[in-house]
Chain A
Amino acid sequence: MLDADFFRRWLTATAASVNREAERLTALDSAIGDADHGSNMQRGFTAVLAALEEEAPDTPGAVLTLAGRRLISTVGGASGPLYGTLLRRAGKALGETPEVSEKQLAEALRAGVDGVMALGGAAPGDKTMIDALVPAVDALADGFAAARAAAEGGAVATTPLQARKGRASYLGERSIGHQDPGATSSALLIAGLAEAAAGSSGE
């Protein structure tokens, strides 16, 4: 079973990998976006860790809901409301129980991903974070390592796609050949699950 501490470790591990990969995320975003994805995600996850420290939420649902709210209010780009909706929706789906199963986590993340698709209007194949998140959630039944591999595979598989959502879609065919920054950061988020399960806080 997964308790609030697991979810704290998950977000702490994600914040660490976002810090580590921020330059790469921004470099990917400079190719097809507005070159702020790394710094936006860093600001958001730094604020999430500060809020978790300050408010010390004690259930899995409360951890994710708080994190989602902080991302919406601090990121400053489209990834704020998108990641915020993902975590907040998942947090609400988990309710107020002190411990949740991996199956409940998978169902909650599925609800979160559905919320992201409804908010942004993106579908699989549009070269967005959805292309990492959907395969990851599908693979969660086989464990966190499988989800991580699926998310990373999904992110890499965005490279040959043409963007159909967001600023990159204005580039048309010129968006082909670049890995999507949002799918790349989504893979970092999913990878954080395996790190949290390993009991490490990332770095």
Chain B
Amino acid sequence: MSDEKRVGIVLVSHSAEVAASVAELAKGLAGGATAVPVAPAGGTEAGGLGTSAELISAAAASVDRGVGVALLTDLGSAVLTVKALLAEGGELPEGARLLDAPFVEGAVAAVVTAATGADLDTVEAAAVEAYSYRKA
């Protein structure tokens, strides 16, 4: 399975630190999951809080192995920017998809599932299902 191509995961947050930390967390909880391409796209290009379309496009291109790219976002402009890029065409790799999932839990579920060599539909289903886990 090691030569199998994995779904790429992009984590879009208003904060560079949050995006990078959630990427580390998800890979760590997935037992390393070194075969899964995961890229954070956090904050603005200037290093502030916000969303950068350029960073998102670059992150998506960097994790594209030709079998789909799953994007997870935190809120507000992160969601709207990814949606606008998807609507544009040509800005994100073929098969890129915004997942309707909680950011942290969805990222863990997506990376763990992608590590098994699952396809994009299966990765998406796992991430979306994270919403159904009740905490109280």
Contact = CB atoms under 8 A, between A and B. Distances in A.
B52 A119 contact: no
Instruction: Provide the main secondary structure of the chain B interface.
Output: helix
B50 A77 contact: yes
A76 interface: yes
B77 A72 contact: no
B83 to A, nearest CB: 6
Interface residues of A, number: 21
Interface in B63-115: 76-77, 80-81, 83-85, 87-88
Contacts of B80: 78, 80-82, 119-120
B53 A80 contact: yes
Given A76-B44, A76-B77, A166-B76, A81 B84 contact: yes
A84 interface: yes
Size bracket of the B interface: 10 to 19
B15 interface: no
Nearest to B48: A76
Contacts of B77: 76-81
A73 B44 contact: no
A8 B88 CA distance: 22
Nearest to A69: B88
A34 B75 CA distance: 14
Interface string A82-96: 101100100000000
Interface string A57-87: 0000000000001001110111111101100
A36 interface: yes
Interface of A: 34, 36, 40, 69, 72-74, 76-82, 84-85, 88, 119-120, 166-167
18 contacts: A40-B50, A72-B88, A76-B44, A76-B48, A76-B51, A78-B76, A78-B77, A79-B77, A80-B77, A80-B80, A81-B83, A84-B84, A85-B84, A88-B88, A119-B80, A119-B83, A119-B84, A166-B76
Interface of B: 44, 48-54, 76-77, 80-81, 83-85, 87-88
